[in-house]
Amino acid sequence: MIAKTIIIASDHAGYNLKKIIGDEMSKNGHKVLDIGTNNLDPVDYPDFGHLAAVELLKGDANFGLIFCGTGLGISMAANRHNGIRAALCYDIETARLARSHNDANIMALGARTIEVDIAKRCVDTFINTRFEGGRHLNRVKKIDLTKIERFE
């Protein structure tokens, strides 16, 4: 196992799952940077989606893991940042393909929609799957609007 540096972030709805996953990752030897939220008090998921994106783009971490009730809102916010590819995953296959085909650098999980055991397996799959490159590279490059010369 290669130790990774992982940013984790959530709103209140994702807090418990973030804590479980973060603790497990630390136990497994990864460096975990928890950027909040830090309790169950209601907060706004975009604040933490944006924060996770900004922190990851600094380049000091390998991946981000973000959590809200569904994983939807927090991934929408993170995906507003060029260079961020946040994938909402819900099983092992989406976690694997998010990395191998989409080169996702953030995985979003819905704490109210996924079993804890599946979430743990998704995380393990996500951080240990390599981007395939090849035919997927140009497609991934086209995701960022700044990299599209003409978009009509």
Specify whether the CB–CB gap between 109 and 122 falls below 8 A.
yes
The CA-atom distances, in angstroms, between 89 and each of 72, 104, 135, 149 are: 10, 10, 22, 30
Q: Identify which of residues 45 and 126 has a Cβ nearer to ligand RB5 in the complex.
A: 45
Task: Find the shortest distance in angstroms from Cβ 7 to ligand RB5.
Answer: 18
Supply the minimum distance, in Å, between the C-beta of residue 83 and ligand RB5: 22
Could you list the residues that contact ligand RB5 (CB under 6 A)? 11, 13, 45, 68-70, 72-73
**Residue 13 or 32 having the CB closest to ligand RB5:** 13
- Alpha-carbon distance 51 to 66, whole Å? 10
For ligand RB5, the closer of residues 44 and 55 by Cβ is: 44
Q: How far is the CB of 90 from ligand RB5 (least distance, A)?
A: 13
Mark whether 136 is an active-site residue: no
Residues with a catalytic annotation lie at 101
